[in-house]
Structure 1
Amino acid sequence: MDLAQRFAGQPVLVVNTASHCGFTNQFKELEAIHQRYKDRGLKVVGFSSDDFDQEAESEAKAAEVCFVNFGVSFDMFATIPVRGAGAHPLFRELARQAEEPRWNFHKYVIDRDGKVVASFPSRTKPDAPDVIRAIEKVL
């Protein structure tokens, strides 16, 4: 899938995720952000990654965690590498513009021109005031 084409001209919140992580409960807040801002054009996009050895053993199990356990309705993509030389090109570009994810549930707010305007570590919840301000800035 051509991500640049699919999300061109839209503000995006990109998150690297894992189904067996202490931050997995952030799926709830991410879904709430999606519901709150989808009508204003925000795309919430999750990319499963096993770079930190906390992803389910299969895509089916990972999908179950997202869609069944947490009711995720925003776009989730297949497991990809998000760190280092083998990182998916999207995450290499995110690291170039901001920083490489240090752990699961690192969040990037991207404006309509494809520029990272804010980056937040795992411990920052998706509904934290700084994240909300960054999202509202790109809308």
Structure 2
Amino acid sequence: MAKQKSPFKVFLVNRRPCTSLVVPSSSSKETTISGSILFLTSALAAVLPLIPYENTGRHRVPKIIFKGQSSTFHAFIISIMFAFSGAFSGLFVYDKPLMARLCRFYSMVSMVCAGALLISASFAKTS
């Protein structure tokens, strides 16, 4: 009786890939930027309820930086929300490079806007 080849060995020898391997085109630098923005905005969201607030009419505004500047504080919060959603979306849709790049872009722009609002509020407080 002749020895038959193992079906597993036959599969390995005759195996030809049908499709090419899909590798995400985003670089590790872009992923690190999105991950950093995601971490920073999550940390801000966790810390923000813990700081002391003051009531200015109908709005609650943090006493530390945004004292008397409720519109600037609300713009800051909206920028943080956009930065979080952009970073999360950019990491979530890595298989669509154009969409991931767009999400990372608006995440970075929103984070820069949040930083600018924070700096402007701190300068307005000192003057």
Q: TM-score, normalised by structure 2?
A: 0.28
Q: Please identify which structure carries the higher helix content.
A: 2
Q: TM-score, normalised by structure 1?
A: 0.26
Structure possessing the higher radius of gyration over alpha carbons: 2
1 or 2 for the larger relative contact order (CA 8 Å, sep ≥6)? 1
